[in-house]
Amino acid sequence: MAYMRRLIDDELDVLMPDLAAIALDGPKGVGKTATGLERAGTVLRVDQPETAIMLEGDPYSWIGRRPPILVDEWQRLPWTWDTVRRAVDDGAAPGTFLLAGSATPGNARTHSGAGRIVSLRMRPMSLPERCLVQPAVSLAELLTGSHTPVEGACDLKLADYVREIESSGFPGIRSLGNRARRVQLESYLTRALSRDLAEERGIQVRRPATLRAWAAAYAHASSSTSTWENIRRDATPGDGDHPTKATAINYRDWLTSLWLLDPVPPWLPIGTGIRNLGRSEKHQLADPALAAQLLRVREVGSVNFDWPHGDGLFWPHVYPETGLTESSHSLAPTSMWGFEACGHDLERELFPHRAAGCPGCRHHRSCRPGPGRP
């Protein structure tokens, strides 16, 4: 199958001529390996037993091979990260290493790689990557101050967006039929919340259903700043003995280590005099299809149905999650933030902000539809 270029390739084109080592982070199935293989001169699949045995037997034999050297699923042998870091310290040339990982190692003592290995998060496929639309406006160009005309048209309807949200942005899942896709998404979650934690981090989850309940609670909180207490209450309905905060933090950290959570930090500008800003991050999952699967929400031929897990509608909650995927890849030098003015009926789902200059934003008044409001 021919490789389908991803948005992150644009960033790699810019960075690899200058950086010796780049790590592609993200959940399983997002396309990290395919992107790495497209560029690699040498491939080390660490999750293959024969490769792992070879590396353990001669830990440094691969350093001088043809670049770029792709170390795929490096977290299976965490010391490979430190080997790359030391090679960079020793003067490795730009474009020498690509590392791909779908989990953060658990108890392994690895150096952060700060100053040596640059991490890029790879997110699920955006609408342009799915070949559904041709982008007409570039946020990156707008933030440079260029006078690009803001105009264009799109044939996608609301039902199309809902269908794409449910289809997911995982390349190997989205093209499946409805039934097969749902089964695959269910299998994805089951394996991630049980086997992957054990294999990648050495964590044995005694009650996978409990961890899944916490994942569902975060799905319920999509695009909101729901408090830890609310998430805990959603994750343990009817339980008289709620878990401690330390236990809850463990659940969150486990989900984060698998790249299943993708929170948007709050925009808190220093020295601007702007007051009463919300200080809580907005909760998002790696892909809105995972949120739909966790909450058992289906398109059922119509988008006008109530969200059975709370007040309001489900799809308006996860649509900004799609926007995060759409925006983040194409704004490489830009940070993505959430904005909420406390005490005011004003909210901005995504707030792209450059290190210097004026931010751009997408905003709305109130995140829930009211009487007479579309």
Q: What is the secondary structure of 19-46 as a DSSP string?
A: -SEEEEE--TTSSHHHHHHHH-SEEEET
54-68 pLDDT, tens digit per residue, is 999 988 889 989 999
Please say which residue of 229, 257, 285 terminates a domain.
257
Beta-ladder partners of 22:
98, 118
Please say which residue of 194, 227, 257 terminates a domain.
257
Domain for residue 348, yes or no? no
Domain for residue 236, yes or no? yes
Domain for residue 232, yes or no? yes
Beta-ladder partners of 42:
69
Q: Are residues 21 and 115 in the same domain?
A: yes
Judging by DSSP bridges, how do beta strands 362-364 and 346-354 pair with one another? antiparallel
> Which residue matches tokens 């109130």?
366
Q: Are residues 82 and 149 in the same domain?
A: no
Report the alpha-carbon distance of residue 3 to residue 19 in Å, rounded. 24
Domain for residue 71, yes or no? yes
Residue 22's alpha-carbon distances to 17, 171, 195, in angstroms, are 11, 22, 27
Q: What domain count does the chain have?
A: 2
Report the alpha-carbon distance of residue 340 to residue 225 in Å, rounded. 9
- Write out the residue range of the structural domain in which residue 47 sits: 7-121
Q: Are residues 195 and 117 in the same domain?
A: no
Number of H helices, E strands in the chain: 14, 8
Question: How many Å separate Cα 373 from the centre of its chain?
Answer: 31
Q: Are residues 45 and 111 in the same domain?
A: yes
Residue 42 maps to which CATH number? 3.40.50.300
Domain for residue 17, yes or no? yes
What local confidence, expressed as pLDDT, does residue 238 receive?
A: 72
**pLDDT-derived band of residue 111, with 50, 70 and 90 as boundaries?**
low
What local confidence, expressed as pLDDT, does residue 167 receive?
A: 93
Contact of 308 with 213, CB cutoff 8 Å: no
For residues 203 and 114, the model is more confident at 203
**pLDDT-derived band of residue 202, with 50, 70 and 90 as boundaries?**
confident
pLDDT exceeds cutoff 80 at 127: yes
**pLDDT-derived band of residue 70, with 50, 70 and 90 as boundaries?**
very high
For residues 249 and 145, the model is more confident at 249
Can you say whether the dihedral through the CA atoms of 292, 296, 300, 305 is positive or negative? negative
Question: Has this prediction a pTM greater than 0.85?
Answer: no
For residues 372 and 192, the model is more confident at 192
Beta-ladder partners of 13:
none
Please say which residue of 257, 286, 308 terminates a domain.
257
What is the number of alpha carbons within 13 Å of residue 297 lying toward its C-beta?
Answer: 30
Neighbour tally for 82: CB within 10 Å: 16
Domain for residue 108, yes or no? yes
Domain for residue 370, yes or no? no
At residue 128, φ and ψ (nearest 5 deg) are: -60, -35
Report the alpha-carbon distance of residue 314 to residue 165 in Å, rounded. 11
**pLDDT-derived band of residue 340, with 50, 70 and 90 as boundaries?**
low
